Each structure stands twice: as C-alpha cells, then as structure tokens.
Amino acid sequence: MRDVGEPDESELSVTAPKTWATGAPAVVHALQYALGQTSPKRTALTLLNINQTKGFDCPGCAWPEPGPGHRHRNEYCENGAKHIGDEATSRRVTADFFRQYSVDELSRKSDYWLNQQGRLTEPMVLREGATHYEPIGWDEALDLLAGELRALDHPDEALFYTSGRLANEPAFLLQLFVRAFGTNNLPDCSNMCHESSGSALNETLGIGKGSVSLDDLYDCDLVFVVGQNPGTNHPRMLSALEETKRRGGHVVAVNPLPEAGLLRFKHPQKARGIIGRGTDIADQFLQIRPGGDLALFQALNLLLLEAEDKEPGTVLDRDFIEAHSTGYDAFAEHIRATSWDAVLEATGLSRDEIERVHERVLASRSVIVCWAMGLTQHKHGVPTIREVVNFLLLRGNIGRPGAGVCPVRGHSNVQGDRTMGIWERMPQPFLDRLGREFGFTAPARHGLDSVDSVRAMLDGRAKLFVGVAGNFVRASPDSDATERALRNCRLTAHISTKLNRSHAVCGGTALILPTLGRSDRDVQAGGEQFMTVEDSMSEVHATRGRLAPASAHLLSEVSIISRLARKVLGSGPDIPWADFEADYDLVRDRISRVVEGFADFNERVRRPGGFRLPNPVNERVFRTPAGKAVFTVNDFTMLQAPPGHLVLQTLRSHDQWNTIPYAMDDRYRGIKGGRRVVLVNGTDLAELGLDDGSLVDLVSVWTDGSERRADAFRVVAYPTPRGSAAAYYPETNVLVPLDSVADISNTPTSKSVIIRLERAADRAPV
C-alpha cells in the first residue's frame, strides 16, 4: 500500500475558479480520499463517530458542533472526513521503512509524500552521527530524553512546542511538567496564527477569546466574514451562515480573493443543496487589498460618527459607551481625521461600496465580526483587530445576544490548549493557582514564543526541542533559518502520529515518539479513557477514540508526558504522575481546581455536548485595568509595493490541512496537479510583461535590503486585487524572514510579503 509516488508538478492544469462550495462533489472527494487510505469498514466507523457526542472530535478546525439535539448524523465536512481518513489510514511506517530511507533522503521528500506513508508505529532514535533512525524501547527513549533535559545548564535551554491537536488533559499535564521543570518555554502554533487576536482582545475586552455562540450567529442581523476562507478552512461555518440567512440575517464578506465558499453554499445533506442552486452567502462582497482591513473599519467608524452627528442619539449606543467603555473621546478625535483618499488607496474599494456596508450596519440591530489569518498575519494585525472592536463597541455590539467578536480558530483544540496553560506568558494568577495546587513555585519570567524559539536555537541559547504534535519546521516562517535552528540543537524529539518534515530536520540526536490519534481507543490501567477539547466558541466537550490503535506500541500523549515527567523531576514536587496516567478523571479534578470555569469538570463534561465556558464579556464585565472595554487609537500604514512589485499573501489550498497537502489540487480555485503556483491579476501580469503559465521565481524584498527567493512557480491569471498575488504555504514560508512580524503579537507577517516575479529562465546559473 506504500506505493505513493512524488507528485509531478508538470501535470498542472488550471480551470476557472468555482463560484460555489461543497454540494455533491465535496461528498465524492471526501469519500475518495478516505477510501484511498483505509477499508470501507474503517471509513464507515470513523464517519459514524466523528463529531458525535459519544464519538471523537474532528482533529481539523475548531468550528463548534450544534447542541446534541440539533446535531446531524453526518456532522462533518469534506475536510473533516479527509482529516479523519488521513489519521485512520491503514498505511504504516515501520522500522523497515526507516531502514530503507536515510534521514537525508527523507529530508528531500515532499510534505505530501511524507504524510502519505502512514501512521508511525514504534519509537525511533537517530543516534549521534547515524544516517538512519533505528528502533528504541519506550523506557530507553524516555531515559535518553530525560537525561538530556537534566543535563542542561538551565531549564530555559529547553523548548516545548505544541500544536492545536493536543487535547486538554495532555496539554494541562505538559504545561505542569514544563513549569515544574522550571521554564515557561511553551511556544505553540497559536503564536503563528491568532496571537494578534489574543493580544488585541485581551487589551480591549480583557479576554483573548471570541464572545459569540452558534445561537448568536444564527440570530445575528449582520455577520462580517473578514480575511477568512470558510469554504476550505472551516467548512461547517457555511451551514451556520446559511442558517443566519434563513432567519433573515445578512453577510458581508471581506477578502482579497473571491473564494467559492464566500459566494454560494450547497448544503451536501439537504436536497436543495444537492440539486438546487444552494444559498448565496455574501450579500455584499468587498474584494479588499491585502492589509486594507484596518482602513476599512476606520472608514466605517467615521461614517457611524458622522451619522450620529446628523441624528444625535440614534446611531451610537451612548448608554453602553458611557457605562462600559473608556477611551472614546481620543478614539473619536482620531477617527474624525481619517482621510478618504488614504482609505480608498489602502482598501482598493470604492467609497460607494463602503457606504453601502455602512447602510447595512445602520439597518442591523446586532452585528458579529468573524475573522481569521487575513487579519492577524500583518504587521498591523493587532491594531486592525482593535479597530474591529472599536467598530462593535460604538453600537454596543458586545455583551448582548446576536452580537460580538468571533476569531475563528484553525486547529481543533488550539483555544483549549491556551486555556490549559500552554502559553509562554501565562498570567500570574494562573501560575499561582498551579503552584498552590501542586506545591511548587512556577517560574514567573516569560518564556519564548515560536519566533523567538527559532532565534534561541540559532544562537545556542536553546539546545533541546520537544515538539508535541504539529510540524514546527513547516509551520514556522523563514524555513531556512528554522531548519538551521533545529539542526543546531543537541537533541530534537517529536511526539507525533504521522511522519512529517520535522522528523527529517534533526538535532545531534533525534527521537520520534509515536502516539495515539483522536480516533484511537485509549485504554489505561484505570480502564478506557476519554479526553476533552474546547472549540472556537468556548464549548468544552468529550472526545473518545473508537478505533483499534494503529500499533500496539503507541502510547497516549498523557502516558508519554507523565512517564517523562517522572523520569525528569524524580524527587521534585509531589505530583502523582502514575495516577494521572492511569485515570484521566484525576487530571480533570486538578484542572477544575486550577483553571477558571472548570468547576465540577468531570460531572459537567459527561453531560451530552459538555458545557460552555463563561465569558465575562457576555455579562459586560471587562477584565481590563480600567474595568471597562477600551476604545483604542490605531494608525494604519499602507503597505507600498515599489513599481514592478506585488503584495503576496500566503494561503492554504483546499486539499491541505495546516502544513500537510492531502493532494496537489485546489478544487475551488481551479488548480489541479500542482502547488507551485502564484495567482496574479491578469492586468498586473500584462503590465509586468508576463503571460499566464510563465515559469517565475518569487523574490521577496525587505526594508533592510535583503532578498529571498522561492524558485519555479507557475503564473496563474486569477482575480486577485490589483497589485497583489497569492501562493501556497508552506512552500512560500521561505520568503518571510524571522524578523518580519506583527507589532505586539510577534506573529509572522505571512499575508503581506512584497515580491517581484523573475522569469525562471533569467535566473543566474548557480
């Protein structure tokens, strides 16, 4: 079954982008992928259990499920079916595989090929100076890792990276172990995606999470979907937006690309979705320039202030502003100086388009703004989200039904991991409660985030990297620097379900520690266990694996972390690691005493559908220093591409999950059989003297005069906004230097990269 060839980019073909998403083709593609990975019986078992109250949580995005009484028998999307098919694959990576391929050979394989090899089956070690991984027993592997950790001069020389696949219980234990060990070095994938959201929301509303529920979304009069492509990245969001519209609400979509899922949705489980026209999603689509969103919301705020001037007391929610906010006067003074010329240049929109949105806002009692990476991964990502909050505060669209903020998370438990303490800057009250509960003093000094972790590995401050889930090498910006950083480590270790490039970019010694997936049954000394996750809307619920594990040699993440902690901490704090490993209820008991909102965790999470964490914002309680919501003053700087240059945004294809392509296609955008493509507006192409189909190198240019190159991309004429381009990550991560980050949040600026296109034929010979 291993006969998976490397993709051949010469087979690339391009057709017109689709104007609707999902429908029958989504069902066909999902089943094709799942059945290509495993048997019909195993496929049926996974699909019957995914997102069901007694089944397992989809390991894909963090979109919530409807309540138990309202859940569909097939409560998953095309991509959810692919994710679970990918995990439940019958393909296996065994010791023979590692005997066959050296690490050097693996490092030259594509992300696609590596993933297609299947599930990891036993612990492996790459010993100092060796060319191949070899099998190692669990005890020896964990002794090796523990010995290296204990040999460090200081705990801050170790890094513990987490991706959003980790469920709540192992996440809680991981941060407990890491802090008991003595460091806050807990970088995570959130550093590279929604960190800007957390920074802006913490500052303005006092909590770094979204405030809305699915019911709010259904009952909202006007939903903004900004910098987001739900058709690919959170497909079931389209069902929710369809329901919003069915109840009379409206949708404004703001995005550089006219994505199929923003335009029309054909519900695959409804007759009207299969044979009918489907539902128009966006009532108004604003094709904005990358990074123009801050200017757009400032213009909308200006229009609201001017409307209030004309008819005082009818537009703004004065009672809310006076009772619950601070900073309004400085904000209003700043907004009144907004220049329309600058707004129109930054957004690429017409004044008429913006004024039509304004009319919709005036006609709407309740408004929600949803967003994703299109807002966060810019230098001004944090100010942009602060301006979104200003916009909502003006009409009291915070803390009442049908209104609020909705940052949509891209990985299933990335929000839960933060709640559990996976953050390099966890607030002191959390650290104090953790220390009191377990009898030690958690370190107070902040740890390193993802970008700073790369720097620390490069300059030798960090010597040991442990990746718990995820694919750090491919998720990080500046691929060359990240690979050098990992190779500079004394030891790298990865707790993983499947092979990825991070396993082939090794420190002096490297470990692969294979673990259970979401769909695998987890049986410990205390019997069969379940875990819990938190979705984008703060709903916490159980997830129970139902399949026989991929190998008898796998350990759960809870087991690996607990066993490692015992070996490393020895006679340290009196923490019952063996009991935690045997019975996850005991972990949940401790979570209920340390993490706010988790009282009676074990009892409440056993209710069908679990429970929703309280969000004080919904009671109009704002935990900011002023005790109020905060209006902020935000300046926008227009990203200016020099003549002959374009602003590139990186994005996912439809057949991709985070860093892993499942296929070489991007169905909705009409791309088939290749990923090294750059989408460029046809008029820009003509001005640049390039043809559709030309082969070019992408060269990014930076203010310090440096340049970076990604070779051999096929130009595709595409309806991007004038002056901009789009290409897939992680192939284009190499273009983003480590130092190009968002202000405040340190998130890589992967949505605003200035590039020029150079004909590959003109490339100087190496």
Give residues in contact with ligand SF4 (CB under 6 A).
Answer: 51, 58, 60-61, 63, 76-77, 79-80, 83, 234-236
Minimum Å distance from CB 711 to ligand SF4? 32
Minimum Å distance from CB 175 to ligand SF4? 24
C-alpha atoms less than 13 angstroms from C-alpha of 153 in its C-beta half-sphere: 5
User: Closest CB to ligand SF4 among 509 and 653?
Assistant: 653
User: What distance in Å separates the CA atoms of residue 674 and residue 510, rounded to the nearest whole number?
Assistant: 32
User: Closest CB to ligand SF4 among 534 and 581?
Assistant: 534
**DSSP assigned state of 548:** P
Minimum Å distance from CB 471 to ligand SF4? 17
DSSP collapsed to 3 states, 437-483: HHCCCCCCCCCCCHHHHHHHHHCCCCCEEEEECCCHHHHCCCHHHHH
User: Closest CB to ligand SF4 among 51 and 190?
Assistant: 51
User: Closest CB to ligand SF4 among 264 and 494?
Assistant: 264
Contact, 598 vs 592, CB < 8 A? yes
User: Closest CB to ligand SF4 among 43 and 453?
Assistant: 43
User: Closest CB to ligand SF4 among 238 and 630?
Assistant: 238
Minimum Å distance from CB 165 to ligand SF4? 12
Minimum Å distance from CB 25 to ligand SF4? 16
User: Closest CB to ligand SF4 among 588 and 654?
Assistant: 654
User: Closest CB to ligand SF4 among 465 and 657?
Assistant: 657
User: Closest CB to ligand SF4 among 197 and 453?
Assistant: 197
Which residue type sits at 259? Answer: E
User: Closest CB to ligand SF4 among 64 and 549?
Assistant: 64
In the chain, the N- to C-terminal Cα span, in Å, equals 39
SS3 content of the chain, % helix, strand, coil (to 5): 40, 20, 45
Contact, 146 vs 565, CB < 8 A? no
User: What distance in Å separates the CA atoms of residue 508 and residue 8, rounded to the nearest whole number?
Assistant: 33
Contact, 696 vs 759, CB < 8 A? yes
SS3 493: strand
**DSSP assigned state of 5:** P
User: Closest CB to ligand SF4 among 77 and 368?
Assistant: 77
Q: What does residue 377 show for φ and ψ, rounded to 5 degrees?
A: -95, 45
Minimum Å distance from CB 49 to ligand SF4? 12
Minimum Å distance from CB 669 to ligand SF4? 18
C-alpha atoms less than 13 angstroms from C-alpha of 709 in its C-beta half-sphere: 9
Minimum Å distance from CB 209 to ligand SF4? 17
Cis peptide before 765 (omega within 30 of 0): no
User: What distance in Å separates the CA atoms of residue 165 and residue 134, rounded to the nearest whole number?
Assistant: 26
CA distances from 138 to 202, 299, 460, 513, 554 (A): 41, 59, 28, 8, 9
User: Closest CB to ligand SF4 among 236 and 264?
Assistant: 236
Minimum Å distance from CB 81 to ligand SF4? 7
CA distances from 721 to 421, 489, 666, 682 (A): 40, 42, 19, 10
22: which strand partners? Answer: 266
Instruction: Using the structure block, give the residue that is written with the tokens 């051999």.
Output: 712
User: What distance in Å separates the CA atoms of residue 375 and residue 633, rounded to the nearest whole number?
Assistant: 17
Cα-to-chain-centroid distance, residue 231: 15
CA distances from 319 to 314, 316, 322, 625, 678 (A): 12, 9, 5, 21, 50
* Closest by CA position to 543, among listed 175, 189, 62, 208: 62
Count Cβ atoms within 10 A of the Cβ of residue 538 and give its class: 0-12 exposed, 13-18 middle, 19 or more buried.
buried
Minimum Å distance from CB 455 to ligand SF4? 33
User: What distance in Å separates the CA atoms of residue 192 and residue 134, rounded to the nearest whole number?
Assistant: 33
* Closest by CA position to 741, among listed 752, 731, 756, 755: 752
Minimum Å distance from CB 611 to ligand SF4? 19
User: Closest CB to ligand SF4 among 240 and 629?
Assistant: 240
**DSSP assigned state of 169:** H
User: In the numeric block, which tokens belong to residue 761?
Assistant: 């034929």
Q: What residue number has its CB nearest to ligand SF4?
A: 80
User: Closest CB to ligand SF4 among 125 and 251?
Assistant: 251
Return the H-helix or E-strand segment holding 255. Answer: strand 250-255
Minimum Å distance from CB 334 to ligand SF4? 38
Minimum Å distance from CB 562 to ligand SF4? 28
Minimum Å distance from CB 65 to ligand SF4? 7
User: What distance in Å separates the CA atoms of residue 425 and residue 436, rounded to the nearest whole number?
Assistant: 18
Minimum Å distance from CB 377 to ligand SF4? 20
User: Closest CB to ligand SF4 among 273 and 396?
Assistant: 273
